[in-house]
């Protein structure tokens, strides 16, 4: 099993969308892949998948969702991962500082998906637990952008799962 760890701030929106979309599309390709989402912060720890995110993912064809709660990334998570996909540059920087031994297995999502050194926009930029969560409409474009990136990246991901070295941009 090839394990992909997706990273965002709280493990609640961007990385959770990427987790579910990666598992869905890799499964359609017959790839032996398991994606798991984590956050660099513990601010959203213990939260279930947002209903609005489930709805946005369902609109993209997904029907099955993990019941895992959001969690902060641990050293054990990093050690288990074959590939660590960070949703923003600050996540990549923080992960490389915390876990320098795993830096060669880390990549920015948009570098993998589009060849651009840019962030996936955060739908929760200033929200805190207890605040109103993003609506389906607020999440819909993020989910579509992540899905487009994953579909674009699947050929390279497939080669990576087979052990083929892909040159970094």
Q: What is the pLDDT along the chain (169 residues), one digit of tens a residue?
A: 899 999 999 998 999 999 999 999 998 888 899 999 999 999 888 989 888 898 999 998 998 888 889 999 999 999 999 999 999 999 999 999 999 999 999 999 999 888 899 999 888 776 677 777 778 887 888 888 999 998 888 888 888 888 766 554 4
Q: How many domains does the chain contain in total? A: 1
Euclidean distance between CA atoms 139 and 42, whole angstroms: 21
pLDDT at 169: 41
Specify if 88 maps to a domain.
yes
Per-residue pLDDT at 135: 80
Global confidence as pTM: 0.88
Segments forming the whole domain that contains residue 104: 2-161
Cβ–Cβ < 8 Å for 45, 39: yes
d(CA 116, CA 130): 34
| 21 domain-assigned | yes
Q: Which residues contact 90 (CB under 8 A, 6 or more apart)?
A: 119
pLDDT at 165: 63
Q: 69 lies in a domain? A: yes
82: which DSSP letter? Answer: S
Return the exposure string of 31-44: e unless at least 16 CB atoms fall within 10 Å of the residue's CB, then b.
bebbbbbbbbeebb
Output the pLDDT for position 108.
Answer: 95
For residues 47-66, one letter each, b for 16 or more C-beta atoms within 10 angstroms of the residue's C-beta and e for the rest, the string is bebbebbbebbeebebeebe
* Tokens 């799962």, residue located: 161
Assigned domain for 166 exists: no
With contact defined as beta carbons under 8 Å apart, do 161 and 32 qualify? yes
pLDDT at 119: 93
Per the domain annotation, does 168 fall within a domain? no
> Residue 155: left if φ>0, alpha if ψ -120 to 50, beta else—which one?
alpha
**Alpha-carbon torsion 157, 158, 160, 164, what sign?**
negative
pLDDT for residue 77: 98
Query: Tell me, what CATH number does 107's domain have?
Result: 3.40.50.2300
């Amino acid at each position: 099993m090839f394990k992909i760890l997706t990273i965002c701030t709280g493990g609640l929106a961007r990385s959770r969308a990427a987790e579910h979309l990666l598992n869905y599309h890799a499964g359609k390709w017959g790839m032996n892949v398991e994606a798991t989402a984590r956050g660099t912060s513990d601010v959203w720890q213990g939260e279930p998948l947002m209903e609005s995110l489930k709805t946005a993912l369902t609109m993209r064809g997904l029907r099955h969702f993990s019941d895992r709660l959001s969690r902060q990334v641990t050293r054990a998570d990093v050690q288990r991962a074959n590939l660590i996909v960070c949703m923003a540059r600050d996540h990549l920087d923080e992960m490389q500082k915390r876990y320098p031994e795993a830096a060669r297995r880390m990549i920015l999502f948009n570098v993998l998906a589009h060849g651009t050194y840019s962030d996936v926009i955060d739908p929760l930029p200033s929200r805190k637990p207890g605040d109103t969560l993003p609506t389906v409409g607020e999440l819909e474009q993020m989910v579509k952008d992540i899905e487009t990136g994953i579909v674009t990246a699947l050929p390279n991901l497939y080669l990576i799962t087979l052990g083929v070295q892909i040159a970094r941009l």
